Amino acid sequence: MALKITDECINCDVCEPVCPNKAIYQGELIFEINPNLCTECVGHFDEPQCVSICPVDCIPLDETHPETKEQLLEKYKKLTSHVIETS
């Protein structure tokens, strides 16, 4: 599943720079996560970096975007394929 940022977000900005897929961005009121770019850090790290660094624990799974670990890995491969091809 993709992750989401809830309205408990305090806009501290620690999550945005640690996202390897650049899925986190400043929304109108709080930071938000683009579910098309979020892989829960599958392929990059063992755990979601935004979740591990968030000081207020406001980044749960987004139940509206269910994905298996295998689907997240496929998304990771698609998102990084341009990097692999040009290296």
Tell me, what's the pLDDT at 86?
Answer: 46
Is residue 66 in some structural domain?
A: yes
3-7, 12-16, 18-22, 78-82: range with lowest mean pLDDT: 78-82
In a domain, 79, yes or no: yes
11 found inside a domain:
no
How many other CB atoms are there within 10 angstroms of residue 32's CB atom? 15
Give the range of the structural domain holding residue 48, as residue numbers without chain letter: 16-86
Residue 32 lies in a domain: yes
Q: What is the CATH number of the domain that holds 41?
A: 3.30.70.20
Q: Which amino acid is at 43?
A: G
Q: What is the pLDDT of residue 7?
A: 97
Say which residues have a Cβ less than 8 Å from residue 87's Cβ, sequence separation at least 6: none
70 located within any domain? yes
pLDDT at 83: 57
Check pLDDT > 70 for residue 12. yes
Question: Looking at the domain assignment, is residue 30 inside a domain?
Answer: yes
Report how far Cα 75 is from the mean position of its chain's Cα atoms. 12
d(CA 51, CA 79): 20
Asked if 80 and 72 count as a contact pair (C-beta separation under 8 A), the reply is: no
Split into its structural domains, the chain has a count of 1
